[in-house]
Amino acid sequence: MRPPIRLPISAHQDAIARRVLAEESQQRHHLVITLTGAHAYGFPSPDSDLDLKGVHIAPTRALLGFHRGPDHASRLETIEGVEIDYASNELGQVLGGIVKGIGSFYERILGMWPVQESPELAELRPLVVRSVSRRVHAHYRGFATSQYRDAQQSPTPTAKNVLYVLRTALTGAHLLASATLCTDLEEVAGYYGFEHVRELLAIKREGERTPLPAEVAQRWLVEAERAMALLDRSMERSSLPDDPPNVAELEEYLIARRREHFD
């Protein structure tokens, strides 16, 4: 298990987050809970919520009976001024998504800001690293395209709209190029000639819904297109395998956890 990490949130936010996670951990066994969203991407504003995304292991007995429970749990609540957006998916669903190349599940397991993790995660992380394949392109391209359309069609696009396109496209491009996950936009932007993204970061940090002046919005929509083109080029040049090479290892890990967590 990695040593505790100082999260990029305030002491008050951290206290609220850990209180919520302690309550949720009474309901399910978490393998990991990771800070995602604006705080993890490097552009929180004062009104940004805390995105806490987890992976949990359901008791195997509950998966075998007549009344199988849901594979997903969520909680959206504001506590003492802190908006919490918690969600967790069951391990089988997550590993199935990893095989399909779903980037958001990679980000939960390999994310830069784990809030809570189990010792069982140490064995899984290298398996997930070895599973990275060109399949991740479809996830990152699809999400970036959706966010780009939202920004393009909005009469008053915000810095947040454009930043999410850039963050998704550049994280995906870097993953395809290096098999390394980096969700911090300012860091990954520096690798690919987008250092001027600091202009947008400064605007976003003023507020979640701060609109962009028309000329700034137009200029950054062009940059968003450039980031998506970079993502596509990274796919074409990637040395990653077309499909995950270690599906059997992931399945063995899942089966081992099922045996350990029968009740």
* Residue among 23, 87, 98, 14 at smallest CA distance from 51: 87
Q: Is 81 exposed, middle or buried (0-12, 13-18, 19+ CB in 10 A)?
A: exposed
Domain ranges of the chain: 11-131+244-260, 136-237
* pLDDT confidence tier of residue 205, bands split at 50, 70 and 90: confident
pLDDT digits (tens, 9 = 90+) for 114-157: 999 999 999 999 999 999 999 999 999 999 999 999 999 999 99
Looking at residue 252, its pLDDT comes to: 98
Residue 158 φ then ψ, to 5°: -100, 165
pTM to 2 decimal places: 0.94
pLDDT tens figures, 68-114 = 888 999 999 999 999 999 999 999 999 999 999 999 999 999 999 99
The domain 11-131+244-260 belongs to what CATH superfamily?
Beta Polymerase, domain 2 (3.30.460.10)
Mean pLDDT of 170-176: 98
Percent of the chain residues past pLDDT 90, beyond the cut = 89
pLDDT digits (tens, 9 = 90+) for 23-42: 999 999 999 999 999 999 99
Length of the chain: 263
